[in-house]
Structure 1
Amino acid sequence: MIEIERISRAFGGLQAVREVSFTVAEGSITGLIGPNGAGKSTLFGIVAGALPPDSGRIRLQGEDITGLPTHELFHKGLVRTFQIPHEFSRMTVRENLMIVPARLAGESLLRSWLQWWKVVREDRAILRQADEVLEFLEISHLRDELAGNLSGGQKKLLDLGRTMMTDAKAVLLDEPGAGVNRTLLGKLAEAIERLNRERGYTFCVIEHDMDLIARLCDPVMVMANGELIAQGDMATLRENPQVREAYLGTGTSGGMGAA
């Protein structure tokens, strides 16, 4: 689905990402882990079109998308969420979902006059879709709540819901578990699993909670100091001396629990 080939990016004298290559297979939930400063978010930004790479190529379903801006990638089915949710705080939860679909008849003043029936039909379809998303995520009771009043975990669910309002093929999740209580974290993990299993979503997930990574992801990629140092299933990586060194400063003792 996503092929990352020898991607590098420097900021001045700091080499944030160095020659990183891996593939996110179609239908997988691929994890991306590593200590703070490993280069994970920089790599996500490059893949998502927010940053250009200094070198390397990125392909989406075989198409070279290197350097394409975020809005073009959105229309190609590659979307991203952020560690800190970017909701429209003074709009309701349902309205936050309904503004996501693009290229609608109502966006044109002329078409809204001459093809008003099409605008009405599209608005009704989007409303139904938004309500279906709310039901899927089990947050229908929040449909009329202002998004700014939601808890951190509820905002993460809303972020996930907004990806469901697109024609997403691949979703980059940046620390979905950050700031989420354990109850809502379980609901969020279940929603990701269902989207993957029932709707065929492909995910790449940055996360510091190793228990969440172990539940969701296989394979898992490990970065440290801007480089990819290991990959495999979480059980194997917990015992990898190089991974333990990167996280703990020791290759011989300690363990990788939930961070």
Structure 2
Amino acid sequence: MIRIDNVSKSFGGLQAVRGVSFEVAQGSITGLIGPNGAGKSSLFNIVAGLFPPSSGRVLLDGQDITGLPPHKLFHRGLVRTFQIPHEFSRMTVRENLMVVPPGQSGENLFKTWLRWGKVKQQDSEVLDRVDDVLKFLEITHVADELAGNLSGGQKKLLDLGRTMMTDAKMVLLDEPGAGVNRTLLGKIREAILRLNRERGYTFCVIEHDMDLISALCEPVHVMANGELIASGSMETLRQNEEVREAYLGGGASGRMGEETPRQNSTDEGASS
């Protein structure tokens, strides 16, 4: 579905990404791991259209999307989440979901006057879709809560919900487990698996939690110093000396198989 073809990116004298190539197959949950500073987020930002590569190409379903801005990629079915959620904090969870679908007739003042029947019908369809998302993610109990009041894990679930309000073909997940307690992390893991298995979503996931990557992803690609150094299953990668050296050289928080510290205090009571 996504093909990254010899992509490089330089920022002044710093080469953040160096000739990286790999594919994300349709229907897969593909992992992208590596120690801090490996170039993972820079590569994600290139694929998501936040900035163009210095060289190389990105293809979606065989179509060259290199350098297309995020809003155009959104309409082609490619969306991304961020390590720090970007919710509308003064709107409710329900309202955050309602604003996502593009081209709603109610957004046009003249259509609300002249085609009220169509606006009302479309609003009803959007609300039905919102209800489906809330139930699927098991967050109906916070539907009318301001999004800014949610815990970190609930905000990550809301991010997943917003991707469900689009016609996404490909979802880039940037550290879905960061800052999430273990209970809600389990819910996020199950939601991703169900979206993949039951609704056909394709994911590419950046994550430092190796247990989460092991539970979700096949295959997994490893970056270090801007380069792709290995690909395969987590079982295989754990035995790869080059991968182990890259992680061991990245400090305790980046070691293979060791859990990255979580900000559990942000999610106290969130699973109720």
For 2:99, the equivalent position in structure 1 comes to 99
Is the CA contact 1:244–1:256 (under 8 Å) kept in the aligned structure 2? no
User: Is the counterpart of residue 6 in structure 1 residue 6 in structure 2?
Assistant: yes
Is the CA contact 1:34–1:224 (under 8 Å) kept in the aligned structure 2? yes
Q: d(CA) in 1 for partners of 2:82 and 2:249?
A: 28
Is the CA contact 1:2–1:24 (under 8 Å) kept in the aligned structure 2? yes
TM-superposed deviation, 1:113: 1.5
Q: d(CA) in 2 for partners of 1:103 and 1:144?
A: 24
Q: d(CA) in 2 for partners of 1:255 and 1:168?
A: 31
Structure 2: which amino acid aligns with 1:222? V
User: Is the counterpart of residue 154 in structure 1 residue 169 in structure 2?
Assistant: no
Q: d(CA) in 2 for partners of 1:146 and 1:108?
A: 26
Is the CA contact 2:247–2:256 (under 8 Å) kept in the aligned structure 1? no
Is the CA contact 1:29–1:204 (under 8 Å) kept in the aligned structure 2? yes
Structure 2: which amino acid aligns with 1:110? F
TM-superposed deviation, 1:153: 0.2
For 1:181, the equivalent position in structure 2 comes to 181
TM-superposed deviation, 1:114: 1.2
Which residues of structure 2 form unaligned runs of 5+?
261-272
SS of aligned partner of 2:79: strand
Q: d(CA) in 2 for partners of 1:255 and 1:169?
A: 30
> Please, what TM-score do these two structures have when normalized by structure 1?
0.97
TM-superposed deviation, 1:150: 0.3
- Runs of at least 4 residues off by over 4 Å: none
TM-superposed deviation, 1:112: 1.9
Percent identity of equivalent pairs:
74
Once the two structures are superposed, the pairs formed by residues 79-90 of structure 1 within 5 Å of their partners are 79-90=79-90
User: Is the counterpart of residue 224 in structure 1 residue 224 in structure 2?
Assistant: yes
For 2:48, the equivalent position in structure 1 comes to 48
Over the aligned positions, Cα root-mean-square deviation in angstroms equals: 1.1
User: Is the counterpart of residue 140 in structure 1 residue 140 in structure 2?
Assistant: yes
For 1:36, the equivalent position in structure 2 comes to 36
The count of corresponding residues between Structure 1 and Structure 2 is 256
Deviations 1:218-243 (A, max 9, x none): 00000000000000000110110000
Q: d(CA) in 2 for partners of 1:110 and 1:124?
A: 19
Structure 1: which amino acid aligns with 2:57? R
For 1:193, the equivalent position in structure 2 comes to 193
Is the CA contact 2:211–2:257 (under 8 Å) kept in the aligned structure 1? no
Is the CA contact 1:230–1:243 (under 8 Å) kept in the aligned structure 2? yes
TM-superposed deviation, 1:104: 1.5
SS of aligned partner of 2:9: strand
